[in-house]
Amino acid sequence: MTVHLKKLSVGSTSLDSLRSWQDVRVANGLPIIHPTRNKPRRADEILDGGSLYWVIKGQMVARQRIADLCDVTRDDGRPACGIVLEPGLFPVWPRRFRAFQGWRYLEVDDAPADMPVSDDATPLPADLASELRELGLL
């Protein structure tokens, strides 16, 4: 059974800033690996189609498919778990979240749906989509 992870995107100011940072890595032939202190105990469920749901500025705004988990070494020399991500961010219906440290499991039934993409492949800005949804217009 699949399970997802949710994680704060520390340092990102928007989905575009996260996308830009990742695009630079991919353009330079580098993998997208997010290091984390603890390896998830439910690794098999995560690798069974799980995604990492990104929380930026208090809102869950996108998901990214998890390709693998690997052992990595942090800059300070300590061991860590690397969450290997596939390139490509999929905007989701924004959902507010309080700040938390590390990552948390996210059950499939609790994960927000992907946002529909307009004809020009541009999703609604997260703030606008969230406000329209709260007003009952989406």
DSSP codes joined into one string, 3-70: EEEEEE-TT-SSHHHHHHHHHHHHHTT--EEEEESS--TTHHHHTTT-EEEEEETTEEEEEEEEEEEE
Query: Which pLDDT value is given to residue 73?
Result: 93
pLDDT reported for residue 2: 94
pTM over 0.85: no
- Which tens digit of pLDDT belongs to each residue from 100-124? 888 999 999 999 999 876 656 566 6
The strand pairing partners of 11, in sequence order, are: none
User: Could you read off the pLDDT of 75-105 as tens digits, one per residue?
Assistant: 899 999 999 999 999 999 888 888 888 899 9
Query: In the predicted model, what is the mean pLDDT of residues 20-41?
Result: 93
Which tokens is 32 given? Answer: 């997208």
- Is the pLDDT at 125 greater than 70? The verdict is no
pLDDT at 138: 61
pLDDT, residue 124, reads 64
What gap in Å lies between CA 105 and CA 40, rounded to an integer?
Answer: 9
